[in-house]
Amino acid sequence: MFHNFPIHPGKEISDRFLKNEIRDFSSAMIYIQDLPYRRNSDKNNPAIVLDERTGTCSTKHAVLKLLADENDQPNVRLMMGIYKMNTQNTKSVKTVLEKYQLDYIPEAHNYLKMGNKVIDVTKRGFANTLFVNDLLEEEEISPGQIGAYKVSRHRAFLGEWLDANKQIPYHLEKLWQIREECIEAIAAR
């Protein structure tokens, strides 16, 4: 399990959760996890999750990291991992990967870590951590890095991956398009 903590009033994100009768971090995670998976109108503003009542791995985990920071919980870390997105850890991308004859595609994913415990609230079920076994790279980031930095790092990784895997017949822009098709397949599910 993980260390739960109460939410204290007096800070922006904390007050917004408290206004919704969410009084501890565990309840906040459940609330965020139950929100639909969909891209937000402003990825650079993690609080948008609370306004639009929807989010992605980036915005959902970033708002929880902000909440933890406001409550002096440095043990809650926001992570960005690049993993082999395949049909075993992300079943909904099967058709897309088969269409392009790919075993996997490197995908950047945000999640939280508390100690060594991985917590993924992207969708229902705290056991959504199958990607951990397929991590290629992992780094701790700040909530301000879920936008341009994440995209830049992900695209750079894809370029390096293509350079190391000359048998893959796609250029970076095509691979990014394939990745977008995978994200649409995930969102449709």
- Tens-level pLDDT at each residue, the chain (189 residues): 567 999 999 999 999 999 999 999 999 999 999 999 888 999 889 999 999 999 999 999 999 999 999 999 999 999 999 999 999 998 999 999 999 999 999 999 999 999 889 999 998 754 567 899 999 999 999 999 999 999 999 999 999 999 999 999 999 999 999 999 999 998 887
In a domain, 61, yes or no: yes
Is residue 21 included in any domain, yes or no?
yes
pLDDT at 2: 65
* Domain with 40 in it: 12-70
In a domain, 47, yes or no: yes
DSSP-derived pairing of the beta strands 117-119 and 76-85 = unpaired
Question: Is the distance from CB of 128 to CB of 186 less than 8 angstroms?
Answer: no
In this structure, the answer to whether residues 62 and 95 fall within a common structural domain is: no
> How many domains would you assign to the chain?
2
Are residues 88 and 173 both part of a single domain?
A: yes
DSSP 115: T
Answer yes or no: is 1 within a domain. Answer: no
Has residue 134 been placed in a domain? yes
Q: What is the DSSP code string of the chain?
A: -----BPPSSSHHHHHHHHTT--BHHHHHHHHHHS-B---S-TT-TTHHHHHT-B-HHHHHHHHHHHHHHTT-TTEEEEEEEEEE-TTT-GGGHHHHHHTT-S-EEEEEEEEEETTEEE--SSS-TT--GGGGGEEEEEEE-GGGTTHHHHHHHHHHHHHHHHH-TTS---HHHHHHHHHHHHHHHHH-
Domain-located, residue 3:
no
Evaluate whether residue 114 is within a structural domain: yes
Q: Note the pLDDT of residue 8.
A: 97
- Token pair of 95 as six digits: 């058709």
Q: Are 105 and 182 in a shared domain?
A: yes
- 183, 94: one domain: yes
Residue 169 domain flag: yes
